[in-house]
Amino acid sequence: MIMKKYGILMAAVMIFTISSQAQVVNTGAGIGIRAGVNFQNLNGEDASGDKLDNKLKTGFHAGLIADIPVAPDFYFQPGLLYSAKGAELDNSTVNSTDLRLNYIEMPLNLVYKPMLGTGRLLLGFGPYVGYGLGGKAEFSGMESDVKFEKEAGNAANTVYFKPFDAGANLLFGYEFSNKLSAQLNAQLGLININAYDNDAKIKNTGFGVSLGYRIK
């Protein structure tokens, strides 16, 4: 598990190193910081095949992104983000059920950044991969740990999820002439993160808004 986490981090460092050493003349390129608010949920089916009906949970994301030019107005935009996800679980037998899941994520987007006015329009899509770091689950005021394992263990007071996550990103926004940007992000998880030996299917989905600053 530790090796997988370091593998993701090493790959991200390599991408940022390559982008920072490139001779970039396009004004849309560079490395930047990005942070914002997540509105996440866990969708899918329970073990009986009934659709999950959870509520959105507010979290946050923050990290680094790089804009690497690949064609006029097109950029490969990898990133390394910390992202807090989860859901408000719908369970009539349990009150105040809250689930918080923490991930390290690497989005790998292709972004179209044409000039629009004095700034640039942002239109992007691509995959993301993520790895679970931990979290908390609260049931009727009692808190349990969240652990990410390939299969659920038997530790007391612990909720399990599979560590690997992947899916698709969409983004829309605007970068101002001062290199500040604002964007709307949408994310669709495609991996079942249920670690228990049953037929439940659980996937991360959500959207968010973020602010960024591109460092030339």
Q: Which CATH number fits the domain that encloses residue 147?
A: 2.40.160.20
- Ranges 32-36, 150-154, 208-212: which has the least confidence: 150-154
Rounded CA gap, 51 and 197, in Å?
Answer: 18
pLDDT at 23: 40
pTM of the model as a whole: 0.84
Rounded CA gap, 172 and 59, in Å?
Answer: 20
Contact 154, 142 (CB under 8 A): no
Task: Spell out the long-range contacts of 207-210 with Cβ–Cβ below 8 A and sequence spacing 24 or more.
Answer: 207/38, 207/39, 208/36, 208/37, 208/38, 208/39, 208/61, 208/184, 209/36, 209/37, 209/182, 209/183, 209/184, 209/185, 210/34, 210/35, 210/36, 210/37, 210/61, 210/182, 210/183, 210/185
Task: Report the first-to-last Cα separation within the chain, whole angstroms.
Answer: 35
Contact 128, 108 (CB under 8 A): yes
Burial of residue 43, with CB atoms counted within 10 A of its CB: 0-12 exposed, 13-18 middle, 19 or more buried: middle
Contact 195, 152 (CB under 8 A): yes
Q: What is the mean pLDDT of residues 124-143?
A: 92
Rounded CA gap, 56 and 207, in Å?
Answer: 10
Task: State pLDDT tens for residues 49-106.
Answer: 999 989 999 999 999 999 999 999 999 999 999 999 999 986 544 455 889 999 999 9
Percent of the chain with pLDDT strictly greater than 90: 75
Q: 189 - beta bridge partners?
A: 167
Rounded CA gap, 28 and 33, in Å?
Answer: 14
Contact 175, 181 (CB under 8 A): yes
Q: How many domains does the chain have?
A: 1
Give me the domain span that covers residue 191: 2-215
Given a cut of 80, is residue 20 above it in pLDDT? no
Rounded CA gap, 149 and 194, in Å?
Answer: 10
pLDDT at 55: 92
Report, in this order, helix, strand and coil percent for the chain, each rounded to 5.
10, 60, 30
Rounded CA gap, 15 and 174, in Å?
Answer: 24
| Mean confidence (pLDDT) of the chain | 88
Task: State pLDDT tens for residues 154-184.
Answer: 998 899 999 999 999 999 999 999 999 999 9
Rounded CA gap, 180 and 201, in Å?
Answer: 39
